[in-house]
Structure 1
Amino acid sequence: MHTYILQIETSTSVCSVALVESERVCQSESLNEPNVHASQLTILIQDLLDLEHIGFGELSAVAVSMGPGSYTGLRIGVSTAKGLCYALDIPLIAVNTLDGLYEGFKTDRKESALYDLYIPMLDARRMEVYCAAFDKTGDLVSNTAALIIDETSFDQYRDHYPRICLFGPGADKLEALFVNTKGITIVPGIQTNAVAISRSVFQKYQMKDFEDIAYFEPYYLKDFVATVAKKSPSL
């Protein structure tokens, strides 16, 4: 019997979906364009199922990247995942977005074995990021947090972890800040994607580590702050 799991990642500007069967990726697709989540997510999902020639009724579970990340992106991804689970009466699985970034980097990048500490980052605003820290065995060293980054932000790790790697959408803007800092390497261009969470998703599925669909909410980390456009002086 096939165990098809639909995986959704919308925590950043990337809108990404994957169809996975027992940890084997059958189909995946990503769009990295602004403001496409609401209009394109369900289209991408239907495309994956059509490519694999299966129907929604053959899905065993839906998994979603739970955050932190973009308020709007997370809301769209989680509401879509919950809606499918309600309609199909299947379980919902949630994975921390930073866990997914770490797993994807360790799996896809050959140079990932060179480091002692891994700090995946998501962009927040200005010099602020959402980040966590993992050692080379995958153990969590520092929990998910929102930090304002300066030259001293990682000094507490440097004695114990001489080779620190920063990566993810939040790390790219920090290249100039750490360009001359010994022991800190930034690997640019690492993006979120729905494939990266496959190992965690399948482990949670086997353990029946499911979310309560009625009460599950995205992990926003910080409260949403709405902005209002300033009125033109002529008005």
Structure 2
Amino acid sequence: MRTIVMDTSNHYLAIALYEDGMLRACRQLEALKQQSELAIPVLKDLMDGQHWQMKDIGEMVVSLGPGSYTGVRIAMTIAKTLSAVMPIRLKAISSLAMLAGDQKAISIIDARGNKFYVGMYENGEPLMEDTLMEAEVFETFKNEHPDFPIVALVDEIPLCDNLYLLSRKAPYIEDCDCLVPTYIKGVEAKKQC
């Protein structure tokens, strides 16, 4: 099966093509606030390089957040649009899970305002619900789990490989209209009202 993997949830644009479990092409670049302009041209370039057409794609895997409010929606909108007009099945993976991959780790993403999105994973499985933590609370949390390395968004993390790996255990989204981003910060804001 041919698969498109895409992450636009933070300051990277990561797109890869897989065929029957093998990586065929990948591009991961820093693209802060440029993902919406670059996503389609980069995807087209990768597909042209493999001589693939959209009709050849069987599934698409995207990150669903948490992350940049706009960034999360870019890959998700592309995936939902393709799924609505073509027989492409969708899978979605937490952005925090994507950072950890299949390793034992605490994943963090800067949520601004002295806060972090935090997830804890082992072997690709969540050990807690992805959450938003104040920096001071995170320091305590980190110290309570010294055997869990901290992973953050850096160049060395193979975002597409991690997404693809985790997607092998994930179910398909049955209705593309039900695919919605994870907005942990928005939930937190509603609690304060």
TM-score, normalised on structure 2? Answer: 0.86
| Runs of 4+ more than 3 Å apart | 188-192
- Could you say if the C-alpha distance between residues 73 and 83 of structure 1 is closer, same or farther in structure 2, counting changes exceeding 3 Å? same
Task: Give the deviation of 1:152 after TM superposition.
Answer: 2.2
- Could you say if the C-alpha distance between residues 89 and 139 of structure 1 is closer, same or farther in structure 2, counting changes exceeding 3 Å? closer
State which of 175, 180, 185 in structure 2 corresponds to 1:217. Answer: 180
State which of 129, 146, 165 in structure 1 corresponds to 2:149. Answer: 165
- Could you say if the C-alpha distance between residues 138 and 46 of structure 1 is closer, same or farther in structure 2, counting changes exceeding 3 Å? closer
Give the RMSD, CA atoms, in angstroms: 2.1
Question: What are the Cα deviations for residues 144-163 of structure 1, in whole angstroms up to 9, with x where unaligned?
Answer: 000012242334x34xxx43
How many equivalent residue pairs? 185
Residue 15 of structure 1 corresponds to which residue in structure 2? Answer: 13
State which of 4, 12, 17 in structure 2 corresponds to 1:6. Answer: 4
**Separation (CA, whole Å) in 1 of partners of 2:59 and 2:105:** 30
- Verify: 1:127 aligned to 2:114, yes or no: yes
Task: Give the deviation of 1:198 after TM superposition.
Answer: 1.0
State which of 82, 85, 89 in structure 2 corresponds to 1:84. Answer: 82
Give the conservation status (yes or no) of the 8 Å contact 2:107–2:151: yes
25-34 vs 57-66, greater mean Cα deviation: 25-34
Structure 1 residues not aligned, in runs of 5+: 107-116, 170-187, 225-235
Question: Looking at CA atoms only, which structure, 1 or 2, has the larger radius of gyration?
Answer: 1
From the two aligned structures, give the one with the greater helix fraction: 2
* Secondary structure of 1:8's aligned partner: strand
TM-score, normalised on structure 1? Answer: 0.72
**Separation (CA, whole Å) in 2 of partners of 1:138 and 1:45:** 26
Residue 153 of structure 1 corresponds to which residue in structure 2? Answer: 141
**Separation (CA, whole Å) in 1 of partners of 2:156 and 2:147:** 18
Structure 2 residues not aligned, in runs of 5+: 188-193
- Could you say if the C-alpha distance between residues 138 and 55 of structure 1 is closer, same or farther in structure 2, counting changes exceeding 3 Å? closer
Task: Give the deviation of 1:87 after TM superposition.
Answer: 1.7
Residue 167 of structure 2 corresponds to which residue in structure 1? Answer: 201
Residue 63 of structure 2 corresponds to which residue in structure 1? Answer: 65
Question: What are the Cα deviations for residues 115-166 of structure 1, in whole angstroms up to 9, with x where unaligned?
Answer: xx5101111003211111124x4443222000012242334x34xxx43311
